[in-house]
Amino acid sequence: MKNLEEVLRAAGNPVTMLRNSPIGAYVYPVVPGEFSNWRDEQAAWQKTAVLFDQSHHMVEQYVQGPDTLKLFTHLGMNSFASFPVNRAKQLAPCNYDGYVIGDGILFHLEESHMVFVGRAPAASWIQFHAETGGFNVKTRKDDRSPGNTKGLAINRTNYRFQIQGPNAWKVIEKVNGGPVPELKFFHMATMKIAGRTVRTLRHGMAGAPGLEIWGPYADREEIRAAIVAAGKEFGLKEVGARAYATNTCESGWIPSPLPAVYTGEKMKKYREWLPASSYEATGSIGGSFVSQNIEDYYVTPYEMGYGPFIKFDHDFIGKEALQKMAGKPHRRKVTLAWNADDVVKVWRSMLEQGDPYKYIDLPLSNFTSATYDRLTHQGKTVGLNMFSGYSYNERSMLSLGIVDPDIQLGNEVRLLWGEEGGGTKKPTVERHRQIEIRAIVSPAPYAKQARTSYHEGWRSKATV
């Protein structure tokens, strides 16, 4: 089998294929699991400062040439009316029916040269259109690092770090050796680190102002050492792979919608282009939400909280479909705060005979590329749970999901934890029972700090 379309034809139902994928957990590769311990690493992003190492888990998709802006305008639902060099924006391309394919950050590096950084699905979609859409551009993909390096050398184009947390700016100015101008959110500039000029993006992933910085991969250890040394007096901690992904449970971004590519005649060409080894053909869906219709796993940009981004001032794939959706009520993104007694019930089952409940790994509790658990309220399905973990800061299991419009903040919903019939055949799934976990519907982002200190963007416009 050469491509996704052939894989799907052989598999029958894509839901069954993806829910039984042998691929294993979604790995955050290369970075050590813990630098100190994941509890203190989580605490540091709320209390002091952290260094995130994002050099390995994302794909970089470069696009260069006269039609670069035209290509992204064609794929992006956001307005590109004002997107000069040294700006970045969130890019969440949709399929023709208005469902999300992926989500990441697009950097305008220089005139007619941009890079998309994120999970594979959006990057592949960009590459496909660049190659087949008659655009005058060249592309280059820098794939994420392998999950198990087996001692082989890793060579990425860039290192990519973030300095975040309430003391981040102090660390940044110390390492720079002088004041660093406060940029607007998602504006790019440069600073000095260890005698080198590095590029910066004003960011704030963990709920406080910070910077993303990047440069040639070979410089990474030198840059890291300088930041760690400067951060010492400000309590900066390096964050390992175990804590890293859980920061989003507090800051409210859903990293893993299922790419909406498995159905539709218009998407067939793309499925024939996607290799059989692609994320889309090998990825996994985990959790209690079971539908025979793969389209029930698709999400809209409105559901992901990107409604305010959508601008109908240009033509783009999915525009008409989104225009039809626009006026209607939408599911919306929320945080779910899990009931402590119910979580302890799951842990208790590990100390008793008989099938336990599905193990809740800490701090990151997802066991697949894409998480889909059923949420119910008064016996009715009211939404999906899509990313789960534990927050040492909030002392709670927190997850991100989407709920029906009539579900209110403060409502207690039930999250069905675990898979039906003892579990699917995924290797990360041990035989287990399902359990309903009560959860309080809460704002996304959950962390108070994140909601009040993001000056722009979807976080500050989130439902509260």
Q: How far is the CB of 32 from another protein (least distance, A)?
A: 9
Mapping DSSP onto H, E and C, the string for 360-427 reads CCCCECCCCCEECEEEEECCEEEEEEEEEEEECCCCEEEEEEEECCCCCCCCEEEEEECCHHHCCCCC
Report the residue number, 43 or 94, with the smaller CB distance to another protein: 43
Report the residue number, 118 or 286, with the smaller CB distance to another protein: 286
Q: How far is the CB of 351 from another protein (least distance, A)?
A: 4
Would you say 444 and 305 are in contact if contact means Cβ atoms under 8 Å apart?
yes
282: closest CA among 2, 1, 4? Answer: 4
Using CB under 8 A, list all residues that contact another protein: 24-25, 27, 33-37, 39-40, 43, 147-148, 150-151, 340, 343-344, 347-348, 350-353, 356, 359, 361-362, 367, 390, 392, 395-397, 427-430
The number of helix segments (H) and strand segments (E) in the chain equals 14, 19
Give burial (CB, 10 Å; 0-12/13-18/19+) of 251: buried
Q: How far is the CB of 20 from another protein (least distance, A)?
A: 13
Report the residue number, 380 or 395, with the smaller CB distance to another protein: 395
Q: How far is the CB of 367 from another protein (least distance, A)?
A: 7
Report the residue number, 333 or 426, with the smaller CB distance to another protein: 426
Number of residues assigned to the chain:
464
Coil, helix or strand at residue 203: strand
Q: How far is the CB of 148 from another protein (least distance, A)?
A: 5
Angle, nearest 10°, between helix axes 168-176 and 220-231? 120
Q: Which two tokens stand for residue 242?
A: 């175990």
Report the residue number, 85 or 340, with the smaller CB distance to another protein: 340
Q: How far is the CB of 348 from another protein (least distance, A)?
A: 6
CA distance 156 to 63: 17
Would you say 201 and 211 are in contact if contact means Cβ atoms under 8 Å apart?
yes
Report the residue number, 334 or 398, with the smaller CB distance to another protein: 398
The amino acid at 450? A
Q: How far is the CB of 30 from another protein (least distance, A)?
A: 12
Report the residue number, 189 or 340, with the smaller CB distance to another protein: 340
